[in-house]
């Protein structure tokens, strides 16, 4: 009996350290549970974006934290961000467990998309922050407390 291998969805690892490359990421909660419907846990995640390790390693362009997933628009500053995202997921899982969440919170992997030269970063940022409007969580993206983009 042969075991199924997981399909490798990652690009060449060198691209993840390229400071000129911008990525759109989607990180889902385990089993798409709506963990971040609870304000305390949503704020815990958003506050990690301001911490030194996160700011030191990533340039932020936009984010949107939905109840069961996170969208980020980022580029690496000085390290391979795939490794750093894994460390961040572990760090935030520990914070959430200390705040009362029980069990795993993040899905094993995440989806990334490297923006191409013809893709407009501002249009991508607007698309990300409009996620709560498309999901009928907010009437306007500016009223949703867990969305932000650099050109606000």
Q: What is the rounded end-to-end Cα distance, in angstroms, of the chain?
A: 55
- One digit per residue, the tens of pLDDT, for the chain of length 152 reads 566 665 556 676 777 778 889 999 999 999 999 999 999 999 999 999 888 777 888 889 999 999 999 999 999 887 777 888 888 899 999 999 998 998 899 998 889 999 998 999 999 999 999 999 999 999 999 999 999 999 98
Domain 19-149 grouped into CATH 3.30.70.1290: yes
Domain boundaries, the chain: 19-149
Question: What global pTM score does this model have?
Answer: 0.87
By CB atoms closer than 10 A (0-12, 13-18, 19+), residue 115 is middle
């Amino acid at each position: 009996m042969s075991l199924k291998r997981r399909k490798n969805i990652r690009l060449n690892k060198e691209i993840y350290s390229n400071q000129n490359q911008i990525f759109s990421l989607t990180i889902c909660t385990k089993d798409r549970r709506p963990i971040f419907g609870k304000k305390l846990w949503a704020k815990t995640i958003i506050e990690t974006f301001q911490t030194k390790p996160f700011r030191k390693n990533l340039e932020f362009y936009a984010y949107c934290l939905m109840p069961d997933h996170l969208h980020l628009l980022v580029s690496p500053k000085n390290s391979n961000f795939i490794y750093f995202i894994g460390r961040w997921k572990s760090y935030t899982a520990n914070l959430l467990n200390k705040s009362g969440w029980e069990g795993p919170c993040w899905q094993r992997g995440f989806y990334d998309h490297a923006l191409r030269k013809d893709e407009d970063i501002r249009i991508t940022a607007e698309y990300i922050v409009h996620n709560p409007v498309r999901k009928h969580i907010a009437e306007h993206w500016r009223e949703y407390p867990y969305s932000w983009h650099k050109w606000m």
